[in-house]
Amino acid sequence: DIQMTQSPSSLSASVGDRVTITCRASQSISSYLNWYQQKPGKAPKLLIYAASSLQSGVPSRFSGSGSGTDFTLTISSLQPEDFATYYCQQSYSTPQYSFGQGTKLEIK
């Protein structure tokens, strides 16, 4: 099984801050890494796929990078609507598309 580990598990930040969330895979997954945003009571929403490709309609303040085992999601300037929980997911190992444990982004 491929294990996905996110850090930090929670994060406090202010509107306008630059924020980075890290995701590490237990083995190389090439660029088969996706990022999702989930707000309370809502379904997850795809932000970034294939490590660095921005999903259509997602603001450009979101970006992703990395390959192999280490990946990052960056929000360049936090907006009030960005406070949510973020999950990484590997889609290298079919059908076990495992997720990270999540990073809860809260308002400071």
Partner 1 sequence: EVQLVQSGAEVKKPGESLKISCKGSGYSFTSYWIGWVRQMPGKGLEWMGIIYPGDSDTRYSPSFQGQVTISADKSISTAYLQWSSLKASDTAMYYCARRSRIAADAWGQGTMVTVSS
Q: Which parts of this chain interact with partner 1 (CB under 8 A)? A: 1, 32, 34, 36, 38, 43-46, 49-50, 55, 87, 89, 91, 94-102
Nearer to partner 1, 17 or 24 (CB): 24
Question: Minimum distance between the CB of residue 35 and partner 1, rounded to whole angstroms?
Answer: 9
Question: Minimum distance between the CB of residue 46 and partner 1, rounded to whole angstroms?
Answer: 5
Q: Which phi and psi (to 5°) does residue 66 adopt?
A: 115, 165
Nearer to partner 1, 35 or 83 (CB): 35
Helix (H) / strand (E) containing 87: strand 85-90
Nearer to partner 1, 32 or 83 (CB): 32
DSSP 43-77: --EEEEETTTEEPTT--TTEEEEEETTEEEEEESS
Question: Minimum distance between the CB of residue 18 and partner 1, rounded to whole angstroms?
Answer: 24
Question: Minimum distance between the CB of residue 15 and partner 1, rounded to whole angstroms?
Answer: 26
DSSP 2-28: --EEEE-SEEEE-TT--EEEEEEESS-
Nearer to partner 1, 50 or 107 (CB): 50
Q: Which three-class secondary structure state does DSSP give residue 82?
A: helix
